Every structure is written in structure tokens, then in C-alpha cells.
Structure 1
Amino acid sequence: MFGLTMIPLGLVLITFLLIAREAPDQPSAKQWQDYFHVLKQRDAWLFCFFYSITFGGFVGMASFLPIFFHDQYGLGKVATGDFVTLCVLAGSFFRPVGGWISDRVGGIRVLQVLYFLIASLFVVISLLLPFQYEIAVLFLVMSSLGLGNGAVFQLVPQRFREEIGMMTGIVGAAGGLGGFFLPSLLGVMKDTTGTYASGFIVLGVIVGAALVTMGVIGREWQTKLVVNRVRSTAEKEVLA
């Protein structure tokens, strides 16, 4: 399987070498100490938190769903793989859609709606519905997490225009850590309470906290993003 995977990866590598170009207006190179400067900013940590919810939730759910389907519903390995693939494809497909929508209505507004939806869906999942209904809700939550991934990274380059390379790495790493903690949380809650319901309720509460945080910080960020866009437009006009 890993050998076969190398074939499409090799094709992507060749395509990248042939057509990739550096951005004409890329920021200046950063030093290692610049990472510490970025990490002193509150907004950097907030982006890490928001992305650990969306991407961390997506990755964590993708890795935990096989266990959940087998333990809760007794699915075989092949059926489990099929349904996990369906959910993962949903999240992957809707990521660019989330960015596209955010470009039109604003990433802050999109994330506010999505966090409310994701929190609600996790609560519904905690009901442990019959499988045909549970898989439908899981499909929706994975789609929403994918949309959220696109929305977060629609905002990052606007807020950190000069540090986009560093912030992409930092925020991406935070998303990966979120994906590590989610299965651990669900496993611990299952062992502690004897049911997966408690873990999904806790996830709903965490996403609810992200919703409240985005509501509090959203107006301030909106002002900062407008200022950055005006500054960027003025700089481009000077260069032209």
C-alpha cells in the first residue's frame, strides 16, 4: 500500500518542480528568533486554538472512527473502512469550499456559524443514534470541520501578512496536536464513564468555548483585517 502511494506522490512532486514559482511579493526571510516574536502575540495562540478545533477535530475523528464504528456498532473491517473513507472525503472536499465561502462573506462569520453547528452536531452524535442516522450526522460534522479548515486559513494570511510562512507552520502544528488529543480524550471518557456519549459531549463543550471566543474576538479581528487590507492595497498602488 505504501509503495503504491509513492506513485501519485511522485507525480505531484514532478508537477510541483515543473510549475511552482515563488510569489512575486513574498515577505522577507525570517530568522529563528522571529518565531518567538510571533508566539508573544495573543492572536497567534488563538489561531492555534481555532485550528486545533477544525483540523484537529477532522484528523482526530478520522483516526478514531474505525474504533468507534467497531466498538459501538460492530462493523467489520471492510465496512468500517468504507464509512470512514466517506467521512474523510467529506472533510477533505469541503475544505476549499470553506475558503471560497469565506472569501465572499468573511472567515470570521463563517467560523461563528460553523462552531455553533459543530458543537450542536457533537451533542447529537452523543445520543448514539441508530447507525444510519449516526453516519449521516458524522458526515455533516466532518464536512463542517473541513469547511472550518478552509475558513481558518482564509483568515491567517490576512492577520499575519508578513509572517504567513511561520504562522502556517505554527498553526498547522497546533492542528496536528489537536488531532492527537481528540482520540485520547474520547478513549479516556469511554473508559471512565463506560460510554462514548460523554466524550462527544465534552467535545461539544470545547467547540462551544471556541464559538464564544470567536464571538468575543471577532469584532476586534474584523477591524484589524480591514486595516491590513487597506495597507496592502496602498502598498500595491505605490509599487505600481
Structure 2
Amino acid sequence: MVQTSATPSAFERKARLEVLTLSTLGFTLMFAVWLMFGVLGIPIRKEFGLTDVQLSWLSAVAILNGSLWRLLAGILADRYGGRGVFTVMLLFTAIPAYLVSQATSYPALLLYAFLVGFAGNAFSVGIAWNAAWFPREQQGFALGVFGAGNVGASVTKFIGPALIASVPAAGYLGGLMPGGWRFVPFLYAVLLVLMALAMWLFTPRADRKPGQGRPFLEMLRPLRNIRVWRFSLYYVVVFGAYVALSAWLPKYYVDVFGLPLYQAALLTALFIFPASLLRPVGGYFSDRYGARRVMYWTFGLMLLASGVLMMPEGHIVLELASGNREVLPWHMSLWLFTALVFLIGTGMGVGKAAVYKHIPEYFPKDVGAVGGLVGMLGALGGFFLPPLFAYAQSWTGLPQTTFLVLFLLTLVAAIWMHLTVLSLLNRAAPHLEHSFEHSPEGGR
């Protein structure tokens, strides 16, 4: 009897659970490693006497290298199987993580930060791996659960300060185990090796390889489809901006609201948590209602919240019908700001899953290549947006322009999506108005 996706065998269910669980844990760890300099930067700056610009490059080069190889990593996962590729990535990343703990100069630290940033490419592997194991009607939820590993961005924020304070600077075992801030990358190196062993031993040996035997150039052919680039823009909005704001918000809280750094980090976590942990919810909604409808909700919520956040403080003048004027003072309170940022995080968390629900729908045999390109461009958005935030603030003198940039980026993506839907409906028939989710787009 042939097993269908609706009636999987006990072995199939067990295999899917193993792949989803181990890939999610591995991705969470890799994401924590990828963004660890956001917390380690303060003691590193003190020890090496770095300027703010020098310090910013540590995070920037890590984010850059965590973006560049996503396309290739996704293709390799489709071709050779996610199990082997993910295991190799974990082991490789452990090497520069250990070297970070041993760095004695800024140039060496910058090099090791770039190499350890390779961890960010694990996302493409996990997406392709899970898509190969789960049926279409469950892929949105499965990819959402896996993508919730983004919460790794907050792991170092919570455990880093405590570990730095609790482990003496001299370390243990005669310095073999370094102390202070160096203990964190050392610990991550050990955990990466252990995670690689667990992934190799406890996931199905007979892996699924949808791209096995296919020519490399054939696997790249879907990238000529404009739809892929549209999905990439969506992902810049919901993921690239997420990475950028995760790094930018602590500074914003400190500069605009005068908070101490530890409070700024905790309030930033209120943005990170929904933007990460709501991915499974976004996947479930995408499975149930369709990914494009979820993207409408996402863009609408983000436009509303960022539209308020981008307003400069001052006065709102109302022209009344009686001819009188009402002048209302406008001031953004800390709690209103935090609530609106939380809403943006909610939209991003749901939207990230919806973007990746699109990919196996339209490119079931090319999830690795398409998902890799979408992930690569989205992550590159996280590299380019912080400087854009800084330039916009420098040009205007208004910190609120951070959210003007986000508003305009979201608006462009929403308009492109809506024009595509209208074009589809105009070329089809009125009865497709409520069923466009799975209709062909004619290459759009």
C-alpha cells in the first residue's frame, strides 16, 4: 500500500519529527552564533579599545557572510541532502567560533567574525531539508516552526551577560577554557560540535534529495522568473528589516528615550520574540487561508505601525468646519513606541513564514535554489538597511526616519504584490477573485 501525505506511516512521521526538531535546534544555535557580536561587542570594545565604527564592522561582516552563500547552500541541500550539508556547516562554523575566543588583535578578530558569520547560511539548508520531507499541506507550518529558530538572535542577549560575569577572566583549566567574553564563543564552538553529532546520529540516514542528479545550471533556471525576485523583496521587508532592527533598536532606545543599555536590550527582545516565535502561526495561517492573504495582513499591519512611528514629534493642526483650529501636541511615549514595534515584529513573524510558503507552492523541485536566493537577498537587506537608517537620520536629523525607510520599503512590496494580483484577475475571470492563491501567475 502506498502511503499518502494524509496517511503517513509511523516511520514517516518519526522521520519528519526528527528532521524538524534537529534542524530547528541547529538553526537556533547557528542564529545565536551568527548574531553574537551584538552582545559581545561591549566587552570587546573595552578590551581592544575600538571605536564605534570598528565595532560595527564586526557585526556587519558576520551578517554579510551569513548572506552570501545562502543560494549555494540551498542548492547543495537539494542535491546532496540536508542532513549531510547541515552537519558539515555546524562543524565548519565551530572552527572560527573557537578562533574568536582566541583572538589577540582587531584584524584577527575581524577575520574570525567574517568566518563565523557563515552560520547564517544554515537557514537555506533547513528550508530545503524540511520542504523535502513534509507534504504541501503541512509545509507552511513546518517551515514556520523551523524558521522560529530566529529566536536565536536573543539567546546571547540573555545568556551572554550572565556568562561573562560568572566566568573569571583567567578562565579554567589553566586558561584552556577561556573566561570573560571569550567563554561565550568557546561554549558555542563546543555546542556546534555536539549539535553536529546529534544531527548526524538522530536524523534519517536515507535522506531526501530532490535535486540529486540534476545539472547545476538547470537548478538555477527558476531564478530567471520575476516571481522569485518579488518574493525576495517580500523577504527583505520581513526578514532583512528584522535583522536590521534587531541591531538598531537598542541604540534607538538609548539615544531617543535615554534608557540604559540593559533595559534597551530587554525591550528589543519584545520585538525579537514575536518576529521569531510567531513563524509557526504564520505557517499555519498560510496553510489554512493562503500565503498571499497572509502577506496582505502582514503588509497592512507593518504600514500602519511604521506610519505612526515615522511621525516626527511636534504638533498636529486640525482645521475644523467652524473655521477654528485645534493644535494637538504629538509626543511618542516609550510604551506606545514599544507597542508599535511589537506590532511590527508580529507582522514580520507571520510574514516570514508566508513568504516561504510561496516557494514550495510554485517551485516544488527547486526549493533549495529559490529559497536560497530569497534568503540571501533578504539577509543582505539586514546588512544594507542599518547604514541606510544612519544616512537617513544624518540627512534629516530625525531618528524617526528609520521607520520612514521601513514604511517606504513595505509600501513598494505591497504595491507590487497587489498589482500582480490585479493583473492575474484581469487576465483570468471574475470567479477567480477568491481563489487566486494557487492560480498560475504567468511568470509574475
Length-normalised TM-score, structure 1: 0.85
Aligned AA for 1:38? P
Give the stretch that moved more between structures: 59-68 or 20-29. 20-29
Aligned AA for 2:290? G
Aligned AA for 2:403? F
Aligned to 2:240: 56
- Alpha-carbon distance in 1 for matches of 2:228, 2:210: 20
Give the stretch that moved more between structures: 16-25 or 107-116. 16-25
| Greater fraction of residues in helix | 1
| Correspondences of 1:38-117 after superposition (within 5 Å) | 38-117=222-301
Contact 1:159/1:224 (8 A) holds in 2: no
1:188-222 alpha-carbon deviations (Å, 9 max, x no partner)? 11000001222312321220111111112236497
Where do 5+ consecutive residues of structure 2 fail to align?
A: 1-183, 313-331, 426-434
1:15–1:70 Cα change, 3 Å: same
| Alignment root-mean-square deviation, CA | 2.4
* Helix, strand or coil at the partner of 1:225: coil
Aligned to 1:2: 185
Aligned AA for 1:16? M
- Alpha-carbon distance in 2 for matches of 1:224, 1:132: 38
Aligned AA for 1:211? A
Aligned to 1:216: 419
1:79-132 alpha-carbon deviations (Å, 9 max, x no partner)? 112112222122110112111110000000100111111111111122361111
Q: Does 1:206 align with 2:382?
A: no
Contact 1:69/1:75 (8 A) holds in 2: yes
Aligned to 1:131: 334
- Alpha-carbon distance in 1 for matches of 2:414, 2:201: 42
Aligned AA for 1:214? M
Aligned to 1:143: 346
1:20-69 alpha-carbon deviations (Å, 9 max, x no partner)? 33655734444332355222211111111111111111111111111111
Aligned to 2:376: 173
Aligned AA for 1:187? A
Give the stretch that moved more between structures: 14-23 or 94-103. 14-23
| Correspondences of 1:7-18 after superposition (within 5 Å) | 8-18=191-201
- Alpha-carbon distance in 1 for matches of 2:196, 2:210: 22
Where do 5+ consecutive residues of structure 1 fail to align?
A: 229-240
Give the stretch that moved more between structures: 8-17 or 51-60. 8-17
Aligned AA for 1:225? H
- Alpha-carbon distance in 1 for matches of 2:192, 2:279: 20
**Larger Rg, first or second structure (1 or 2):** 2
Select the structure with the greater relative contact order (CA < 8 A; seq sep ≥ 6): 1
- Alpha-carbon distance in 1 for matches of 2:411, 2:305: 11
Q: Percent identity?
A: 26
Alignment length (residue pairs): 228
Aligned AA for 2:438? L
